Chain A
């Protein structure tokens, strides 16, 4: 099983600041990495697929990068609605998710 490790567990930032979230895979997954945002009481929402492509309707302040084992989700300038949980996911034959990063208001 491919293990995804997300860091940090919690990120405390203010609106307007830049957020950088990390996801590391236990083995190479090429670019089969997706990022999801989840708010309390809601289902996850796809943000980024293929490591760097924004899903339909996702604002340009969200960007993804990386390949192989190291990936990054960047939110260039945090809006109030961006404070949420973020998960990475590898999309091999047996998908797995990272443990999540909570972006909270400082």
Chain B
């Protein structure tokens, strides 16, 4: 079964960019849709940001992040990345990568990374 390990916590200044990685282990990396979901501090609500396909590199972003988020993958090391630019304090959150299980479970998100805390502060 697949297991995702994310990169460590980040502290960034307003206006900067952050790049979070998510490495898959324990299963083949082929043809996943890997999504990014974030959660505001104190167990705020969950917000979907978009997905990247591990095979093709194709992407689909939530409208509110269009132009500010870039999701990529490096299949050679079974890793996907999420880069968010022009950071503000509103981007302070825990960022999760998660796998879309496709037809196996009606496109729900079955495996999750441990989360990466991004803090934006001057």
Contacts and interface: CB of A to CB of B under 8 A. Distances in A.
Interface in A52-88: 53, 55-56, 85, 87
A4 to B, nearest CB: 10
A46 interface: yes
Contacts of B63: 94
Nearest to A96: B48
Interface residues of B, number: 23
B106 A94 contact: no
A55 B63 CA distance: 30
Given A55-B110, A94-B62, A46 B45 contact: no
A93 B113 CA distance: 22
A67 to B, nearest CB: 12
B109 A99 contact: no
B45 A100 contact: yes
Contact of B48 (A31, A56, A94): A94
Interface string A25-49: 0000001101010101001111001
Interface residues of A, number: 26
A32 B46 contact: no
B81 interface: no
A53 B35 CA distance: 21
B108 A46 contact: yes
Contacts of B37: 97
A31 B106 contact: yes
A97 B112 contact: no
Contacts of B113: 43
Contacts of B98: 43-44
13 contacts: A32-B106, A43-B112, A43-B114, A44-B109, A50-B106, A53-B105, A55-B105, A55-B108, A89-B108, A91-B106, A94-B62, A95-B35, A96-B48
Interface of B: 35, 37, 43, 45-48, 60, 62-63, 96, 98, 101, 105-110, 112-115
Interface of A: 31-32, 34, 36, 38, 40, 43-46, 49-50, 53, 55-56, 85, 87, 89, 91, 93-97, 99-100
